[in-house]
A and B are shown apart, each in its own frame.
Chain A
Amino acid sequence: MSSEQHQKDGLTIGGRTVNSRLFLGTGRFPSPAVMQQALEQCGADVITFAVRRVNLDWVQDDAILQHLEDRGLTYLPNTSGATNAAEAVRIANLARAAGLGSWIKVEISANPRTLLPDPIETLKATELLTLAGFTVLPYTSDDPVLCKRLEEVGAAAVMPGGSPIGTGLGILNPYNLGLIVEEANVPVIVDAGLGSAVDAAQAAELGADGILVNTPIAKAKDPVAMAKAMAMAFEAGRLSRAAGRIPKKRYASASSTPEGVPEAYWAEGDLGGRSISPERTAEQSAHTGLQAGSDAGAERPVTVKGG
């Protein structure tokens, strides 16, 4: 596809097409104003919320929503705080009763330290909420089998975590994510754990259809700039994936043909004319150039999905 087509290529979830593939979480921003600007910079069409008790001691501005309602955004409330499927269903019903649509991010944490999703309860909740007419996007562990099961019980998209929520550790298991993408018939949104633009690009290069980010933007030194960076990085990653990267090799291959190199005319030992051994240089780069994190897609299965 051409780069122009690529840019305009919308993402369809549960029958609804959104233009931006970056979903923005609304928590932990320094202020609602900064959140607004970040939203404008990244162009997100889908924003997430949590459902909590109203504070009765003082009436808060519902600042999260008050300037957003006319923007035609898609609202993706989450079920955070739920520790089992029944609680998630209850929170989902509360969220839907607020009248902002029927998308729901199932988020069921089993462990307060890791906040990792409970796979069994997540599967149950996804099935129950699908039956109840919700468009269900479960936050799930990066398990290809579980993602497939979620799809089978009706998930409109699957949202595997790159790493635990708020850690910024990036995509800890690119191999699994690649498998999830390869198997999925619904969009794959990488949710949780991304740290900066590089992770957004990696998610896209691995074939993810979108990313959901909150902490890396909200807690960046400059949230507005980071919002833009991550959105651009994701698009860059998608473009890169579509463009088709080169295979990784152990040794160098020169970018220019070896023929026709002008011959040296000065004497050996002259400072300006030391000849360079091509073998030695290639060896060095093979050892230093491949680091964890930069080998995304090294063993990437070749698929056409999303590309």
Chain B
Amino acid sequence: MGKMREFSLYVITGEQYHPGRSMLEVMEAALAGGADIVQLREKNLPASELLEKARALRELTRRYNVPFIVNDHPDIALAAEADGVHLGQEDMPIAEARERMGADRIIGISTHAIEEARAAERDGADYIGVGPVFPTGTKPGRQAVTTSYVRQVADEIRIPWVAIGGITPDNADQVLAAGASRLCAVSAVVGSSDPASVCRRLKEQIAAARGELVPIKLNGREEQVRAGTLEQLIQSYGLADKRIVAELDGAIVQRNRWESTQVRAGMTLELVHFVGGG
């Protein structure tokens, strides 16, 4: 992936979604929850204020060792020592941005149709945004591209790409099922009262879709298990139809909650059953 490190959860600022809380506070929560690339998007701000925010967010993302992207403005990105810039279809061409940013910076671009995706790949974009998958308040008026576009990109595009637009933990599995392996969220994360837990949930869903192995402690043993639901994990041990009880981090998970409970790295799981005894 060259200059781009692998990422799975891309979070973009959206101050209109969290009145009363500062951008840095909310983004720090997202980072704590596992956001592994962050973009500053401010459409209507004087350059000086934008630069100030960019510098602050640069400092924060550096502390978390996470790449930082600035929307629309290569000059601000450079001045703030961002890792890259993100362009819209109406912004400057990729070639021009590349000239200004240099070869080592990341250039990403939003795409809404497969032709745009192909063009971006051909023109040397480092990654593309694919969306809006669902209707979103962040891009009002834009027609949702639906998961069929996600599927097209999954089939054809070889540079890194991230699905975006109206994605929440409730619909993320649909997008992942269409072939996405990276998700971007705005309002679902920054508009939440608990951005960290939304990020954790999305990361778990992505890890499950990717079939990643996660370390857990299972009946006292360190095990590497496939990310997914508790139901899938128990099934993988051939125990789903047995009369067993699952206890996750000290709390019993009723059988009807196995399907909606995600396997998380570092969790302690006990699976018990009845044996002969007096």
Which A residues contact B (CB, under 8 angstroms)?
25-29, 35, 48-54, 56, 59, 62, 64-65, 77-78, 80, 90, 93-95, 97-100, 165, 192, 212-215
Question: Which residue of the partner chain A has the closest CB to B271?
Answer: A54
Q: Using known A-B contacts A54-B219, A59-B239, A94-B252, determine if residue A28 contacts B276 with beta carbons closer than 8 Å.
A: yes
Contacts of A165 in B (CB 8 A): 278
The distance in angstroms between the C-alpha atoms of A48 and B271, with both chains bound, is 20
The distance in angstroms between the C-alpha atoms of A186 and B10, with both chains bound, is 64
Q: Is the interface of A mostly helix, strand, loop or mixed?
A: mixed
Q: List 27 A-B contacts (CB under 8 A).
A: A25-B278, A26-B277, A27-B276, A27-B278, A48-B278, A50-B274, A51-B274, A52-B272, A52-B273, A52-B275, A53-B219, A53-B220, A54-B219, A54-B239, A54-B242, A56-B219, A59-B238, A90-B250, A94-B252, A94-B272, A95-B274, A97-B245, A97-B254, A98-B243, A98-B245, A99-B243, A214-B278
A27 is contacted by which of B221, B223, B277 (Cβ under 8 Å)? B277
- Is B237's CB under 8 angstroms from A56's CB? yes
The number of A-B residue pairs with CB atoms under 8 Å apart is: 97
Contacts of A62 in B (CB 8 A): 242-243, 273-274
Q: Using known A-B contacts A53-B272, A56-B237, determine if residue A94 contacts B245 with beta carbons closer than 8 Å.
A: yes
The distance in angstroms between the C-alpha atoms of A64 and B242, with both chains bound, is 12
Interface residue? B270 (CB, 8 A): yes
Interface residue? B244 (CB, 8 A): yes
B274 is contacted by which of A56, A64, A192 (Cβ under 8 Å)? A64
Interface residue? B231 (CB, 8 A): no
The distance in angstroms between the C-alpha atoms of A99 and B245, with both chains bound, is 9
Contacts of B244 in A (CB 8 A): 54, 98
The distance in angstroms between the C-alpha atoms of A83 and B44, with both chains bound, is 65
The distance in angstroms between the C-alpha atoms of A35 and B277, with both chains bound, is 12
Q: Which of B271, B272, B273 has the largest count of A CB atoms less than 10 A from its CB? A: B273
Contacts of B276 in A (CB 8 A): 25-29, 35, 49-50, 64
B234-278 vs A, Cβ < 8 Å mask (1 yes, 0 no) = 000111001111010010101000000000000000111111111
Q: Using known A-B contacts A54-B272, A97-B252, A97-B254, determine if residue A49 contacts B277 with beta carbons closer than 8 Å.
A: yes
Distance (whole angstroms) from the CB of B219 to the closest CB of chain A: 4
Contacts of B238 in A (CB 8 A): 59
Contacts of B154 in A (CB 8 A): none
Contacts of A100 in B (CB 8 A): 243, 274
Interface residue? B32 (CB, 8 A): no
Contacts of A90 in B (CB 8 A): 250
Contacts of B273 in A (CB 8 A): 51-52, 54, 62, 98
B237 is contacted by which of A27, A29, A35, A59 (Cβ under 8 Å)? A59
Distance (whole angstroms) from the CB of B12 to the closest CB of chain A: 42
What's the interface size class on B, roughly? 20 to 34
The distance in angstroms between the C-alpha atoms of A198 and B271, with both chains bound, is 41
- Is A51's CB under 8 angstroms from B239's CB? no
Interface residue? B218 (CB, 8 A): yes
Taking A51-B272, A62-B243, A64-B274 as known contacts, 18 extra A-B pairs with beta carbons closer than 8 A to each other, sorted by chain A number, are A27-B276, A49-B276, A50-B275, A52-B273, A52-B275, A54-B242, A54-B273, A56-B218, A56-B237, A59-B239, A59-B242, A62-B274, A64-B275, A78-B277, A78-B278, A94-B270, A97-B245, A100-B274
Question: Which residue of the partner chain A has the closest CB to B254?
Answer: A97
Question: Which residue of the partner chain B has the closest CB to A32?
Answer: B276
Question: Which residue of the partner chain B has the closest CB to A75?
Answer: B274
The distance in angstroms between the C-alpha atoms of A215 and B252, with both chains bound, is 32
Question: Which residue of the partner chain A has the closest CB to B242?
Answer: A62
The distance in angstroms between the C-alpha atoms of A26 and B273, with both chains bound, is 14
The distance in angstroms between the C-alpha atoms of A90 and B251, with both chains bound, is 9
Q: Using known A-B contacts A56-B237, A94-B252, A97-B254, determine if residue A48 contacts B277 with beta carbons closer than 8 Å.
A: yes
Q: Which of B221, B242, B272 has the largest count of A CB atoms less than 10 A from its CB? A: B272
Contacts of B272 in A (CB 8 A): 51-54, 94
Contacts of B252 in A (CB 8 A): 93-94, 97
Question: Which residue of the partner chain A has the closest CB to B218?
Answer: A56
Question: Which residue of the partner chain B has the closest CB to A59?
Answer: B238
The distance in angstroms between the C-alpha atoms of A90 and B277, with both chains bound, is 17
Distance (whole angstroms) from the CB of A93 to the closest CB of chain B: 6
Contacts of B274 in A (CB 8 A): 49-52, 62, 64-65, 77, 95, 98, 100
Q: Using known A-B contacts A56-B221, A65-B243, determine if residue A26 contacts B278 with beta carbons closer than 8 Å.
A: yes
The distance in angstroms between the C-alpha atoms of A59 and B247, with both chains bound, is 19
Contacts of A51 in B (CB 8 A): 245, 272-275
